[in-house]
């Protein structure tokens, strides 16, 4: 979710995705604009020039001999919610343009020390689009003045997809071996022993604390990462999806299924509260109700299904299980989509026998699919089931 199945790894940037994608949505009655995708170099050069020019206009007079420090955050895929191969190409191109034409700017990666000294922050989202003639990427970017908190520049470019890769760059989560299911539970607070000196971390803002936690996770220091996320979750502004997702991933890496389950349930609750849907998606083989052929992914699906079933069993919410299929599949598409939804419903019934009293399985029409089937990745994402919270009255 690799594909869409590992959304939980990088939910840190979910808010950014919502803001940027919403800003790009056309009004229902708007006249569709004609899209003329550019080659990669031309499009990103134009984007970089626009963004950095706006920074130059906005910036205050810098101290003598001190450059303007700009954080460039990883551009994330709108569908997969994570960094992909094309992200690195975009970030490198923007950095190259800055070095060539804006030599009083210094672009750096997002780290707590850099964040505390930076003047601006560039973030972006990559979305795969398609029209009748060809498919392309829509890249949306924004620049924030970190001193004022104001967005000082936005940019959107359409790039021909020819020759570009959009594969995930981070590894999948390891399978949870059955033999460790009954492993003794470590206390959540015991992980804070990894934080020395603790006073340094408790003095950080919640945003900086979460950045430190992400950095520790990427460095495979999972105990420290968990300790930092546990510090964050004790704060009112730290009880967010990013925090619970980080705890879930960290506990999985340490094979602590009990605490992973607890974090996952907290993540479900926040996801439902904020989005009225779950951020988990179940992917299927073509023309089949079998899950995608990935051992690690299937193992995690078993875990998710059990936790989701228990979550809805223990509250009064109702939900819709939405199945999807693709144009390329031979079976009648709505029938196959419904069969996939019913499979998820039946699997959840193992832990939640009364599931049909609180849920309905449906096959969604073609208009509800994410994209037409122009690539293996897009096809895979369209062969999915997702869960949305709905009113109980129609069920």
Distance CA 49, CA 389 (A): 43
pLDDT digits (tens, 9 = 90+) for 1-10: 333 333 333 3
**What would the mean pLDDT of 307-321 be, rounded to a whole number?**
93
Q: How far is it, in rounded angstroms, from Cα 193 to Cα 184?
A: 18
Tell me what the pLDDT averaged over the chain comes to: 76
Q: Cite the residue boundaries of each domain of the chain with CATH code 3.40.50.
A: 3-160
159: Cβ–Cβ under 8 A, 6 or more apart, which residues?
A: 37, 38, 39, 40, 43, 44, 136, 137, 138, 139
Rounded percentage of the chain residues whose pLDDT exceeds 90: 21
pLDDT of residue 132: 52
Query: Is pLDDT of 346 > 80?
Result: yes
In words, the CATH class of domain 3-160 is alpha beta
- Residue 338's closest CA among 300, 374, 329, 315? 329
- pLDDT confidence of residue 180: 32
- Cα separation, 297 vs 299, in Å, equals 5
| Lowest mean per-residue pLDDT among 7-16, 120-129, 162-171, 282-291 | 7-16
User: pLDDT confidence of 184, banded at 50, 70, 90?
Assistant: very low
User: What pLDDT digit, counting tens, does each position of 208-222 carry?
Assistant: 888 888 888 888 899
The pLDDT score that the predictor gives to residue 193 is 57
- Give ranges for CATH 3.30.1330.60 in the chain: 276-390
74-105, pLDDT tens digit by residue? 787 765 556 677 888 888 889 888 888 888 89
SS3 category, 365: coil
Topology of the domain comprising 276-390: 60s Ribosomal Protein L30; Chain: A; (3.30.1330)
Quickly list H helices, the chain: 14-23, 40-58, 85-101, 112-117, 198-202, 206-218, 222-233, 241-253, 257-275, 295-313, 333-348, 376-382
């Amino acid at each position: 979710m690799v594909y869409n199945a590992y959304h939980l790894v990088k939910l840190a940037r979910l808010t950014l995705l919502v803001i940027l994608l919403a800003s790009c949505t056309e009004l229902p009655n708007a006249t569709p604009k004609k899209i003329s995708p550019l080659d990669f170099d031309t499009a990103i050069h134009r984007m970089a020039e626009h963004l950095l020019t706006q920074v130059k206009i906005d910036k205050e007079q810098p101290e003598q001999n001190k450059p303007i420090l700009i954080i460039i955050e990883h551009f994330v895929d709108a569908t997969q919610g994570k960094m992909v191969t094309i992200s690195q190409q975009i970030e490198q191109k923007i950095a190259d343009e800055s070095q060539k034409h804006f030599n009083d700017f210094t672009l750096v990666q997002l780290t707590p020390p850099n964040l505390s000294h930076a003047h601006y922050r560039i973030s972006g989202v990559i979305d795969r689009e398609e029209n009748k003639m060809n498919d392309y990427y829509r890249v949306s970017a924004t620049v924030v003045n970190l001193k004022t908190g104001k967005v000082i520049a936005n940019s959107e470019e359409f790039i021909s997809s020819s020759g570009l890769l959009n594969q995930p760059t981070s590894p999948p989560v390891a399978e949870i071996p059955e033999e460790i299911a009954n492993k003794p539970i470590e206390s959540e607070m015991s992980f804070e022993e990894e934080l020395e000196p603790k006073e340094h971390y408790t003095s950080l803002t919640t945003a900086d604390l979460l950045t430190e936690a992400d950095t520790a996770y990427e460095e495979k220091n999972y105990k420290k990462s968990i300790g930092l996320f546990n510090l964050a979750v004790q704060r009112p502004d730290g009880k967010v999806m990013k925090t619970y997702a980080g705890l879930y991933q960290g506990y999985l890496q340490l094979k602590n299924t009990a605490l992973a389950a607890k974090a996952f349930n907290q993540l479900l609750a926040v996801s439902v509260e904020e989005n009225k849907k779950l951020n988990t998606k179940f992917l299927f083989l073509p023309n089949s109700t079998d899950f995608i052929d990935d051992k690690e992914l299937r193992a995690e699906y078993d875990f998710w299904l059990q936790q989701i079933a228990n979550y809805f069993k223990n509250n009064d919410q109702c939900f819709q299980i939405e199945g999807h299929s693709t144009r390329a599949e031979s079976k009648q598409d709505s029938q196959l989509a419904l069969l996939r939804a019913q499979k998820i419903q039946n699997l959840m019934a193992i832990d939640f026998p009364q599931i049909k009293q609180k849920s309905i399985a449906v096959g969604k029409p073609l208009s509800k699919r994410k994209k037409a089937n122009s690539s293996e990745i897009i096809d895979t994402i369209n062969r999915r089931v997702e869960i949305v919270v709905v009113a109980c009255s129609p069920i």
